[in-house]
Amino acid sequence: MKAIGISLLLAAIPVGMVIYLAFTGDIGVPPHWTVDGLFMTLILLTISGILALNAVLEAHALGLIHLPGLGAHAAATAGGGSISMGGTAASSAGLKTEVGVIEHVEYFDAPIGQPNKSFVRIRGKGEKTPHTLVLAGNVRGLLIPGRRMQLAYKPNEGGAMLVSFDFK
């Protein structure tokens, strides 16, 4: 909510500047438009429009408004939610779950034709030393070192497939 208010406040400032410039005669009024005034007006209104669009998209993400064509709002996960990556209930057979503190995430680009891998060092509750979990793909942006997380993965040859994760 705070981001919406700030965006709307910042969107109002350039509009106020355009109104001020129109009343003081600095941008010229029709039929005495100046090129400087025209471009100043366009720049200020563009800035205002971008900030207003940000406020509308934030309101949509919070579920306050519905925008036709964008579908349902997506749940944000940056603040500590959970995410599920693909899969259905039918594909949950063979899932393994681990809860622990992520110590380190390292990513390796494999040669052409080989799958890329991420090596995740995770320390479970009561473990003195972390163990390594090999996951397929790049998960550096998903797993946060130093955070306690629950990982659900499907073991595969050449690296497990991360199905979901959650902050614990």
At 37-54, the pLDDT tens digits run 888 889 999 999 999 999
pLDDT tier at 13 (50, 70, 90 boundaries)?
very high
Give the bridge partners for 99, in sequence order: 150
Which residue ranges make up each domain of the chain? 2-61, 82-167
**Amino acid, single-letter form, for residue 106:** E
Is 132:49 a contact under the CB 8 Å cutoff? no
pLDDT at position 31, please? 66
CA distance 21 to 38: 11
Tokens of 160: 């497990």
Helix (H) / strand (E) containing 96? strand 96-108
pTM, two decimal places: 0.46
Domain 82-167 listed as CATH 2.40.50? yes
31 preceded by cis ω (within 30°)? Answer: yes
